[in-house]
Amino acid sequence: MSTGSFSQTIQQARGRLGDHAELQKPFLESDILAATLDLAGNITYITEELAKITGWSSDELIGRNVVDTFYGSNESQVKNEQFTVLRSHPNLFNAFNTQIVHKNGQEIDLKLNAIGIGEPLDVSFSIVIIAEDISEQERLNKAKNFYVAISKLSLQAKNLDDLYPKIFAELNKVIECKNYFIALYDEAEQPQIIRFPYLKDKFISGSSASRPADKGLTEYAIKKGMPLLLNKQEIEQMCEDGLIVAKGAIPELWMGVPLIGNEQSIGVIAVQSYSDSSRYSTLDLSFLDFASSQIAMAIEIVRTQYQLEYQKARLNSIFESSSQLLWSMNTNFELTSFNKTYYNEVFNQETDGLQILESGSDASLSYEQFWQAKYRIVTSGKYLNFEMQSLRNGSTIAWYEVHLSPIYDAENNISEISGMANNITSVKKTEQALKDGAKQFKNIFESIQDLYFKCDLDGRLKLVSPSVQTLLGFEQNEVLNTNINDYFLFNTRLK
């Protein structure tokens, strides 16, 4: 019923009722949610439709005080802010939203339109109330607010330990949460463990726990994969039937729904009451079921973010501690990242006048010309591997083995260039030293006056000095692979 409809109804009430209380009953005997109160706030009449919403019968409510019956701890606030105004100003149209307490303890959201009929000091004075049940509307608003809040938390939470208490703080705005937990389960894990990363329970100390997976109610809910609202008798019966094994104290009411992430159950979120078997309703179960998808998504997002941050930190550690030069450039050939090794070898090097000579090339290029030429090739989609030496005034400063690769974005466009280089100066120096040693040995070998030779265990000559021609008259090629015994005179004493 809209506010305009309320106003029309109240005006009709004023016109039809006037100061005649006996005319109130026929007006109120309709399908609207309505009631009348006397000067003290006692219910003098209530429609069955309104009584039904409160969980009471109309006969039970007649004569009861509206504040004492429906407001409990909010009694003084209601008296002062709402009904006192009507007593003082009987012709004032008073519209407000309020929350009353159902007979079973549940809260009901109502929109009330009320007006005082008659004189405040007259015994016939009445307050006429016409109500609209806006519980579903309020629940939708709370669901929307919860959805927005959880979405923000998933982006703002630093880690799961930061996320869990904030989830229940938001959930508590809609459903009373005094005893609750989040349970996570990985079927692939061996041995299988039920982990409770966040819980609050009057019988359990601490805010987290874990235990081997068994036949608990939590495992039952995970395997069922559906929302469950169970009272103590139902849980005890399940224990007797062997469906579950009780783990700790059995609550008066247990409400839990599976957490579904990546199309599989990753756990359960549950709330429970140890004192009130009517604390939660099917509407609460529906909301928790709705909320569970957002909660599971938030857990997966934060968990993934944490894993990414961990991998990022790990890769950064490897990146920074690597002995290789690592760097990246954008397509404008501007540095976007580099490690300490790159910084120490490149930034501490004066590039003015520096020449680069690629292995196998005869012409050197300036530092800038060389790298821009290489980067242009890579931006065309090619991968490059090459060796190069940096020269200053014709002298080698360092040798590098370089690998350049294009980096593609999500649309398969080249967005950056990755570079990796090894300083191979010491390797090149060793190679050169070996070459110089071999050359020196060759010079000595070829100039030796005495006969030098090398043969295998069978006596076949494998190496012989050029002096063999001077001493024996044979060419080197003639002697190689012949047996050394062919060049000794036979002597029985030596034999």
Q: pLDDT tens, 84-101?
A: 555 555 555 567 778 888
pLDDT at 443: 66
pLDDT at 446: 65
- Give first-to-last CA distance, the chain, whole Å: 130
Question: What are the contacts of 389-396 at 24+ separation with CB within 8 A?
Answer: 389/356, 389/357, 389/359, 389/428, 390/349, 390/354, 390/355, 390/356, 391/354, 391/355, 391/356, 391/357, 391/364, 392/353, 392/354, 392/355, 393/353, 396/425
pLDDT at 353: 66
pLDDT band at 2 (very low <50, low <70, confident <90, very high): very low
Q: What are phi and psi of 353, to 5 degrees?
A: 80, 0
pTM over 0.85: no
Q: What are phi and psi of 248, to 5 degrees?
A: 85, -165
Cα distance between residue 254 and residue 248, in whole Å: 13
Q: What are phi and psi of 346, to 5 degrees?
A: -100, -50
Q: Comparing 327 with 6, which gets the higher pLDDT? A: 327
- Of the listed ranges 9-13, 146-150, 230-234, the least confidently predicted one is 9-13
Average the pLDDT over 341-346 and give the result.
Answer: 84
Q: Taking a C-beta distance cutoff of 8 angstroms, is the pair 322, 339 a contact? A: yes
Q: Is the pLDDT of residue 210 over 90?
A: no
Residue 127: burial class (beta carbons within 10 Å; 0-12, 13-18, 19+): buried
60's CB contacts (< 8 A; 6+ apart) are 51
pLDDT at 84: 56
pLDDT at 16: 43
Average the pLDDT over 402-415 and give the result.
Answer: 92
Q: Comparing 313 with 446, which gets the higher pLDDT? A: 313
Cα distance between residue 256 and residue 338, in whole Å: 50
pLDDT at 217: 93
Q: Is 63 helix (H, G, I), strand (E, B) or coil?
A: coil
Q: Taking a C-beta distance cutoff of 8 angstroms, is the pair 171, 179 a contact? A: no
Give tens-digit pLDDT for 245-287.
988 899 999 999 999 877 778 899 999 999 888 888 888 898 8
pLDDT at 17: 45
Give tens-digit pLDDT for 43-79.
888 888 888 888 888 889 898 888 777 775 544 444 4
Cα distance between residue 109 and residue 385, in whole Å: 72
pLDDT at 444: 66
pLDDT band at 449 (very low <50, low <70, confident <90, very high): low
Is the link from the previous residue into 191 a cis peptide, with omega within 30 of 0?
yes
* DSSP conformation letters of 156-182: H-SSHHHHHHHHHHHHTTTS--SEEEE
pLDDT band at 130 (very low <50, low <70, confident <90, very high): confident
pLDDT at 98: 80
Cα distance between residue 118 and residue 394, in whole Å: 112
Compute the mean pLDDT over every residue in the chain, rounded to the nearest whole number.
80
pLDDT at 416: 94
pLDDT band at 14 (very low <50, low <70, confident <90, very high): very low
Q: Comparing 206 with 334, which gets the higher pLDDT? A: 334
SS (H, E, C) 108-149: EEEEEEEEEECCCCCCCCEEEEEEEECHHHHHHHHHHHHHHH
Q: Comparing 438 with 462, which gets the higher pLDDT? A: 462
Average the pLDDT over 395-402 and give the result.
Answer: 84
Q: Is the pLDDT of residue 234 over 90?
A: yes
Q: How many CB atoms lie within 10 A of CB 491?
A: 7
CA-nearest of 21, 1, 24, 2 to 12 is 24
Residue with tokens 């700790």: 248
pLDDT at 20: 43
pLDDT at 251: 93
pLDDT at 489: 62
Largest CA distance in the chain: 158
CA-nearest of 266, 275, 320 to 298 is 266
Q: What are phi and psi of 226, to 5 degrees?
A: -145, 155
Q: Is 66 helix (H, G, I), strand (E, B) or coil?
A: helix
Percent of the chain with pLDDT over 90: 17
pLDDT at 74: 47
